[in-house]
Structure formats: structure tokens, C-alpha cells
Amino acid sequence: MSTVNVVHTKERLSGIVQLVGRRPNDVPKRRWESVLVFAFFTVAYSWFGYWVVVDLHVVGFETLDRLNRALMVWHNDPAKLSAIGFDYPPLATLLITPLAVVRSFVTSMAAVPVASAIFAAITMVAFNTMMRRALVAGPLRYALLLALGCNPLLLLYATTGTRHFVWIAFVITALGSLFAWYITADVRWVLLAGISYSVAALAGYSSLTLFVLSAIMVGAILARLGADGVEVEGTVVGFTAPTVYVVALWTVFNFILLWNPFAWITNSSDAAASGGLEMFSAVDLMKATGELVLYGAPLAIVVLPMLIFSGLARGNPFALWLGVMLGASILTPALAVAFRLTDSPMLMRNALPMLLIAVVGAIWLARSAEEGSTLVAGLTVVALVISIPWTLHAMKTYRYQNLEAPFAVAITTGESQEGAETLNGDKVGIVSEQAMAEYIRNNVTSDNSILTDNAQTYAVMMLTGHPEWFFDRVDKSDGPWKEVARDPAGQVDYMLIDTMDNGDLLTKLYPDAAAGNDPQLQAVYKTPRYVLVNVPANYSPNLVTTQDQIQGQPTTDQGSGGS
């Protein structure tokens, strides 16, 4: 047996590139400032969002769907964690479930803006901390945060409850951690970045591209600094382990529950295509990409070449890496179209990560400029301020979008957008859902008494605040639900049907009832989008649809409007 060679701490650490076991040379913690930034943006975005959502009726139905699922997690009969489903990345819903503990917070729709405001505020805290590390002076920091925070594109996604800021917040936090790691060489930041990315991965699958690039960067920078293979491997393992674990776990869940381990990729709303994508030539894609950057993230046009120049000409590897990250975020929408991974090409929301990564790049450039850092930070503020009217104008006319145009009109005119149409032709507004929910709240209060396809009627369910009143596809899974759907008599008292032809399984089974023409299934209440029909105890269905025809997808409408 060989004798162990004992190496004491100092000797052991002498060959390590990163800082371990020593106090890093970092800016002092200023928790109160982070708390203030967080509180300010959470309150501001929530307040602004409440006005936009509740008063101006600019609301994305995807948010209502997630909030309905969150309600089901707590209040369904039985309460079911599986309500979060597989349609969205799981944390996009799971992280907002605390908002649904109190029903009235959801039914009043106050929870809608908060669902995104919190994450947007986290993003702002990450930016503020990054700027502190970049030694940007206080007033300039706050000016930059305000200029960025008032960007209309960011404002839309920060205030209307959308899920995009959920993953973006954690990606920016991860970038902030890597930013700190590069400055301090403290290995702990790599771990925090790894944890942030793992949350981001399950909140938005798009973040995985940035995660892979970051992992490569961590390894490459360590190798460049002279770290040995063990240090590079150990650090990269520490960085990647959380994300690899959560992705593997989610894959196993998909396999166990859906018999398709990669359903989260192939079926998800983040990366799924039904084949209905319009054709883009390479020139079209280049042009669309250019427009996207120009209108959504014009700052990137300046920052990207500067990052690459700084990285290559000045030997600034972190700048180069940020340039690669920014480049990747710019190319991702076009690549998604080229590989036909999306039904929603070149959406304006794709400019959001570009804009935010461009800001990270600008902050890094400010830090790298040393004496000129104030100038760079100041110019960034100016650029962000100038881009506000520019982007706001573009939002009204840009071709590929969700709620951008109604939002822009709403905040410039202060008028409700109820009934307005998006540029995609979707209807905006929730009056129909509110009316149906109001009726149900006043007239139906028995548990599991309303049969409904929750994939289509989630907005009504959410607005009632009582998912336990509905016999939906989550309660006992699809199989039992379909049995009841084929023979509802004696099992439910009502059926809530989406009258628009958009995949409601009950509409397929009972088209006459949906149209109000079924003499046995009398409508007890009707709105332009929904009908609530009574199911008599002696009802005998005369189905026009076979079992095969109701093998519907549980996917919800990912469109912007309520139609």
C-alpha cells in the first residue's frame, strides 16, 4: 500500500486559478439597496399592470391558464400538483402558485400583473448588482434602471403576467453571477449561476441555449487562465449539475407520465410546431432578424460589435462571451424558424432577451472602459431613453406580435382594448369570461357539477376562483373525463362549452349544444364565447363524434387574445 502524500491547504491551493478559501475582493453587500430596487419595481409594475390588465383589458390568456392551474394546485377537488401539466415549462406555473393561495387575489386579477412583476423586479435587482460590481455610480445606476424599466416592450412583459420574465429573471441572475465570478474569481458564483440556470431551464426551455454557451464559457475561460483539467472539469460539473439534473428529472417525468421522454421539447409551447408555419427564405429570415433587433433591441446593434471588438482586439474574454451570448439570442428566433421549431415566428417578444443581454454587455463594457465607465454607462442610458418612443412606435406596427399593438395603443390612449383585435386577428378582452364566471359564482356552487374542457375554458374557471366546482380533465385525468363527457347524465349538472371552434372537446361532442340548438341540453347562460348548458338527469346523448375524434390535445391556446 502506498503512503499518502499530505498536502496542506496553502500548498494545495497554490495551483488553483479560482479563489477558494479566501475573502474575495468584491463590492460590499448592500442588501437594503437590493430590497429597495426589488420593492420599487414590484410595486410599480404591479400597479401599472393592474391598470393595463383590469382597466384596459390587455391580458394574455396564457397567464390566466397558468393562474387557473395554480388555483387547481391548491383548491381543486382533490388538490393536484399535476395541474401544472406539461404544456408550459413546469416552473413557469409552479413559481406563481403561491399567488393562488388566496382565491380572491386571483379572481380580482390583481395576481396577473404580480405574476410577472416579481420576476421583472428580480431582473432589475440583478442589473443593479451588476452595475455596482461595474463601479457605475449610484445616480447613473438608477437612471439606467429607470430607462430600461420604462422600455415599452419590457413594460408589456413585466406587467401583464406573462411567463417570459420568469425564465429571463433567472437567466439574468445567472449572468450576474458569472459576471461576479469573472471579476472576483470566487468559485461560489459559478455554483449560484448553475442554480439560477437550473430554475431558468424549467421556467423557459429557451434558456438552455444560453446555459450551454455559459458552460462552454466557464470551461474556456478557466482553461485560458491556466487551470488544470481537474479544476476545469470540477467547476463545469458544479455549474452544470443542477440544470442537467432538472432536465433529466423532467425527461423521466415525461417518460413515466406521457410515454415520451422528450415530450417537453416536442409538445411544449416553447418549442413546438404544428406545421402551420409560413415559409421564410434565408433573405426573409435575415430581414426579419434585422427588423427584430432594430425595433425591439436597438441597443444590441451598438453593443454587439463593441463586445466582439473588445473581446478580440483587447483580449477581453468575458466581453467576447457576452458577444456570443448576444449573437445567439439574436439568431435563435431565426434558427427556430429555419428548423421549424415554432408556430410563432419572429415574435417581437424574442427581442426581450436580446435587449437585456445587450444591457449586460453594455454594463460590462462600462466596467472594461475603466476611466471611461461613466461615459459608457451614460451613453447606455441615453440609448435606452431614445429607444423608448422608437420601440413603442414599432410595437404598433411590427408584423409578428402578440399583444404589443393593443398594449401600445392602450398606454398611449388610456382606452380599454376590450374587443380590439391584435395584428394576428385575435380578439382582446375578457368581458365574456367575466360574465360567465359571474353567473356561475351566483348560481352554481356544487363541487364537480360542471363538466368542462379546462384546456379551453380555463379563463372562466380562474375567474370563478373555484376549480373544485368543475369536473375537468385534471381531476381524474383524461380517461375518466372522457367517459363522463360521453355520458354526463347523473354525473354532472352542467356543461361549460367554448362556443368558438378552437378545439374544445365538448364542442366536438356536442356541436348542437355549443350552437344552442340541442333541445335536451338547454343553455342556461350564454356569452359570446361560452355557453353553460343544463344536463338533465335523464339525458341520453346522441353523440355525433367518435372516441377517436375527441383525442384532443390538452394544449391551451397560446395566442394573445381571448378568441
Partner 1 sequence: MTSTTPATASTEVRRGARLTDGVDQDLRYLIPEGICRTFRVMPYAAIDGTVLVAAADADDTITAHVVAERIDRPVRLVRHTVNEITAAIDSVYPPQGTEVETPEARRARMQMAQMLTRSGLITDEQLQRAMLEYSRTGDPLGDILVSHEAITEDTLVAALSEMYQMQRVGLSEFTPDMEVARRLPEPLALAFQAVPVAATEDLVLLAVARPLGAEQAAEVEDALGSPFRQLLANRAELDQLIQRVHSRHYAEVSTRLLMETRPEESAHIVISGGQKAGLVILAIIIVVCGVIWPWPTAIGLVGFCSFLYLVVTFYKVRLTMQALGTHLETDVTDEEIATLDERYLPMYTILVPLYKEAAIVPRLVRDINALDYPRTRLDVKLLCEEDDQETVNRIREMQLPPHFHLVVVPDSQPKTKPKACNYGLQLATGELTVIFDAEDRPDPDQLKKAVIAFTRVHENVVCVQAKLNHFNQDQNLLTAWFANEYSMHFELILPAMGAAGAPIPLGGTSNHFITEKLRDLGAWDPFNVTEDADLGIRLHREGYRTAMIDSTTLEEANSQVPNWIRQRSRWNKGYIQTWLVHMRHPMQLLAATGMRDFLKFNLTMLTAFVLLLNPIFWGLTTLYVFTQAGFIEQLFPGIIFYVASALLFIGNFIFVYLNVAGSLQRGEFSLTRTALISPLYWGLMSWAAWKGFIQLFTNPFYWEKTTHGLDDGSASS
Q: Which residues bind partner 1 (CB under 8 A)?
A: 1-4, 6-10, 12-13, 16, 18, 20-24, 29, 78-79, 81, 187-188, 190-192, 195, 230-231, 233-235, 237-238, 241-242, 245, 249
Q: How far is the CB of 245 from partner 1 (least distance, A)?
A: 5
Nearer to partner 1, 93 or 507 (CB): 93
User: What is the C-alpha separation between 495 and 531, in angstroms, rounded?
Assistant: 8
User: What is the C-alpha separation between 221 and 381, in angstroms, rounded?
Assistant: 30
Q: How far is the CB of 17 from partner 1 (least distance, A)?
A: 10
- The H or E element spanning position 430 is none
Q: How far is the CB of 259 from partner 1 (least distance, A)?
A: 16
Nearer to partner 1, 244 or 341 (CB): 244
Q: Which amino acid is at 226?
A: G
Nearer to partner 1, 227 or 428 (CB): 227
- The H or E element spanning position 471 is strand 470-471
Nearer to partner 1, 16 or 213 (CB): 16
Q: How far is the CB of 40 from partner 1 (least distance, A)?
A: 22
Nearer to partner 1, 22 or 282 (CB): 22
- Number of neighbours of residue 443 by Cβ within 10 angstroms: 11
Nearer to partner 1, 73 or 492 (CB): 73
- Give the residue from 505, 491, 479 showing the smallest Cα distance to 446: 491
Q: How far is the CB of 191 from partner 1 (least distance, A)?
A: 5
Q: Which amino acid is at 221?
A: I
- Give the residue from 215, 422, 209 showing the smallest Cα distance to 334: 209
Answer for the pair 205, 342: CB distance below 8 angstroms, yes or no.
no
Nearer to partner 1, 21 or 414 (CB): 21
Question: What does the CA dihedral 183, 188, 192, 194 come to, rounded to 10 degrees?
Answer: 90
Q: How far is the CB of 174 from partner 1 (least distance, A)?
A: 14
Q: What nine digits make up the cell of 112?
A: 396577473
What sign has the CA pseudo-torsion 183, 189, 195, 199? negative
HEC readout, 250-316: HHHHHHHHHCCCCHHHHCCCCCCCCCCCCCCCHHHHHHHHHHHHHHHCCHHHHHHHHHHHHHHHCCC
3-state class (DSSP) for residue 85: coil
User: What is the C-alpha separation between 532 and 479, in angstroms, rounded?
Assistant: 23
Q: How far is the CB of 45 from partner 1 (least distance, A)?
A: 26
Nearer to partner 1, 324 or 474 (CB): 474
Answer for the pair 76, 467: CB distance below 8 angstroms, yes or no.
yes
Which value, in Å, is the radius of gyration of the alpha carbons in the chain?
26
Q: How far is the CB of 343 from partner 1 (least distance, A)?
A: 31
Residue with cell 425595433: 295
Q: How far is the CB of 187 from partner 1 (least distance, A)?
A: 5
User: What is the C-alpha separation between 161 and 408, in angstroms, rounded?
Assistant: 16
Nearer to partner 1, 9 or 540 (CB): 9
Nearer to partner 1, 79 or 312 (CB): 79
Q: How far is the CB of 526 from partner 1 (least distance, A)?
A: 36
Q: How far is the CB of 28 from partner 1 (least distance, A)?
A: 10
- The H or E element spanning position 420 is none
Q: How far is the CB of 266 from partner 1 (least distance, A)?
A: 23
Answer for the pair 390, 301: CB distance below 8 angstroms, yes or no.
no
| CA-to-CA dists, residue 166 to 163, 185, 197, 207, 505, angstroms | 5, 28, 12, 11, 31
3-state class (DSSP) for residue 356: helix
- Give the residue from 326, 364, 349 showing the smallest Cα distance to 131: 364
Nearer to partner 1, 21 or 138 (CB): 21
Q: Which amino acid is at 66?
A: R
Burial grade of 146 (CB within 10 A; 0-12, 13-18, 19 or more): middle
Nearer to partner 1, 236 or 523 (CB): 236
Q: How far is the CB of 81 from partner 1 (least distance, A)?
A: 6
Nearer to partner 1, 169 or 492 (CB): 169
Q: How far is the CB of 214 from partner 1 (least distance, A)?
A: 16
Nearer to partner 1, 253 or 539 (CB): 253
